[in-house]
Structure 1
Amino acid sequence: MLKEGRSQLGPDSSQEPQTISQVGEFDLIERVTAGRQQSPGTQLGPGDDAAVLAAPDGRVVATTDVLVEQVHFRFDWSTPHQVGRKAVAVNLSDINAMGAVPTGVLVGLGCPPETPTAVVDELADGLWEEAQQAGIGIIGGDMVSSSSLTISITALGDLQGRDPVTRSGARPGDVVAVAGRLGWSAAGLAVLGRGFRSPVAVVGAHRVPEPPYGAGPQAAVAGATSMVDTSDGLLADLGHIATASGVAVDLRMEQVEVPQRLTEVASALGADARHWVLTGGEDQALIATFPASRPLPPDFREIGVVTEGSGVTIDGNPYVGPTGWEHWR
């Protein structure tokens, strides 16, 4: 059942009257970094002009993502802690999708001067919690004044001697497989957009994604020929693989799970759970292609096949309508 609820606001400013303009830049940095634990590969963490991070492989995998308030998150839908976790998760998912192991995160934070310090405290707790779930820390960053709250994350990773798994290596005859959830974040967004705050599991999937950490390196070891994470949607991201590899991808709908919970929520909202699974982004699942002759890694399940040609089809037929998220469209 869908239930209407109160908005998930950040910490009450009446409990923490200070704003970041009162605290100041350097005290704020100390506030969010003091006493935090770093990973063994961090040789020099926050506090100097730059961080120093070990790079055992001799190569560094790097990715950057920017989250802007009212575009990527809303504090009436998510707490600052949840926003912090999501900001790190979507970046570490990109490291995962290259077959690499995360090694560190850099954070750029822009805030209006009137932002309560309690909001930044909770945001920092979320950033650190998600980073430490992946066994790493926040090794540095920057804080600036801005008109809206903006979070820029740079995540770094190590290939451990393997080649990166790119989008361009899929070959006809490969099996298409996925690790992680599909459609849950889109369902949560639809629920929140209707003014509801439950079911909690569905809404929570939008607030904080659950990337299958470790599945990327697992896929690389198993011989994955291409890989991408579902930041834009299953069909859209499969389209990225198809285009980069110069192949076609055919999904087998009988192999694509549409969870019963999503079906129930869709029924209550008059929506289509299948559409969420096929086109919903931000679940940060992994899509990979593997040679048909090799067994799939434990975390992956088969959903289709790579063929000659171009584009993405479902049971041999094109999908009518938008295939996923794209900025400015």
Structure 2
Amino acid sequence: MQRARDVNEDQLLEAFLPIIKSHNTEADRLVLGPSDDCAVLDLRDALTVLTTDTQTENQDFRRTWPNGMVTSGYEVGWKAATQNLADVAAMGAVPQTLLISLTLTPDTPVHWVEDFARGVTESCTAQGAERCSISGGDLGAGSEISVTVTAVGTCLTPVLRSGAQTGDALVLAGAVGTAAAGLALLENSSSYQLTPELSACVEAQQRPRSPLTIGSTAAHQLTAMLDVSDGLLRDAGRLARASCVNIDIDAAALSLWATKVQEAAKICAAPGENASDLALHWVLTGGEDHGLLATCPADAIPAGFTKIGKVTEPGGAVTVDGKTYRAKGWDHFEATAR
């Protein structure tokens, strides 16, 4: 099996680029793709939105997890695409292109790079962003695998975090809590059988899906929106502070998602811990599902969104059933955040 140390950069690119170029045939904004010092896109008929995000080995994923499962290049590529596409969708924009910087360790198998390219392109296609090109990037070597993706999108008017109004409904499209349950299962070394419900949780962590197309199609009906990447409570807090409003989340409205992680909670709950409490905790604080959290007039909830709370008054705080919930969600610099 060939590894990165056995080939040169051009040979690695020869494994990667044909998959990318095949995908790019659907991209109508791409004037010049991977081949020159810069890519060229024609985005002159709309506003341009940009975002970037990074995945680092042993921080955001493990090649082998405590439960024995292996993360392939496909999963890393899929997730890298999703987390950036979701940010574009959260602005009410349509994804147009991705730029990818990939750092590999010398022992990385060459087929890992091919799987990574397939993961990126198939993530785009499966989530309705088949016209989003992969227009370029960088390839380098390092002591751990790291992926940085920059996404570019277009819209006529961006949906900001700062537009929520008193009386608005708080609405959600996509999932919450499932990826957190999947992470707990991957980190759990005890013996358990992967049922369809548990497999869905693991897949949500390894191959998250975001309701990308809803972000742009419903944008004109929304007053504020953001991607739920760091947990429902933490991201709702960001929206509340940006809009200077108080938000109250209805715990009962979250039962749909809590039920989906109940089986995982029974496996992962600590001795004496209530599984239902853990399931709700994942739904409120678990990140990486990349659902879309938004506000809109209470009498005009867009298709694809579910009401989970309301904007109550001016302020900047978030409560659950009128009470403060201690845990908030993921923070890269808080050791006990998750």
TM-score normalised to structure 2 length? 0.88
Q: 2:169 aligns to what?
A: 175
Does residue 226 of the first structure (1) align with residue 224 of the second (2)? yes
Higher helix share: 2
Q: Distance in 2 between matches of 1:268 and 1:145?
A: 39
In terms of mean alpha carbon deviation, does 56-65 or 170-179 score higher?
A: 56-65
Q: CA deviation at 1:93?
A: 0.4
Deviations 1:141-169 (A, max 9, x none): 1101111110000011010x2x1111111
Q: 2:332 aligns to what?
A: 327
- Give the length in aligned residue pairs: 308
Residues 88 and 127 of structure 1 are in contact (CA less than 8 Å); yes or no, is this contact kept in structure 2?
yes
Give SS of 1:203's match: helix
Give structure 2 stretches of 5+ with no counterpart. Answer: 66-70, 270-274
Q: 2:13 aligns to what?
A: 29
Q: CA deviation at 1:194?
A: 0.8
% same residue: 41
Give SS of 1:211's match: coil
Does residue 304 of the first structure (1) align with residue 290 of the second (2)? no
Please point out which of 180, 188, 191 is paired with 2:185.
191
Alignment of 1:1-329 (within 5 A): 17-34=1-18, 35-38=21-24, 39-77=27-65, 78-133=71-126, 134-135=129-130, 136-159=132-155, 161=156, 163-195=157-189, 198=194, 199-222=198-221, 224-257=222-255, 258-270=257-269, 271=275, 272-293=278-299, 295-308=300-313, 309-320=315-326, 322-329=327-334
Give SS of 2:47's match: coil
Q: Distance in 2 between matches of 1:315 and 1:21?
A: 55
Q: CA deviation at 1:314?
A: 1.0
Deviations 1:201-238 (A, max 9, x none): 1111111111012111122122x111011100001000
Residues 191 and 197 of structure 1 are in contact (CA less than 8 Å); yes or no, is this contact kept in structure 2?
no
Q: Distance in 2 between matches of 1:71 and 1:186?
A: 15
2:322 counterpart letter in structure 1: G
- CA RMSD of superposed structures (Å): 1.5
Deviations 1:163-221 (A, max 9, x none): 11111111111110000011000001111111267321111111111101211112212
Give SS of 2:283's match: helix
Runs of 4+ in 1 over 3 A off after TM superposition: none
TM-score normalised to structure 1 length? 0.90
Give structure 1 stretches of 5+ with no counterpart. Answer: 1-16
Residues 280 and 324 of structure 1 are in contact (CA less than 8 Å); yes or no, is this contact kept in structure 2?
yes
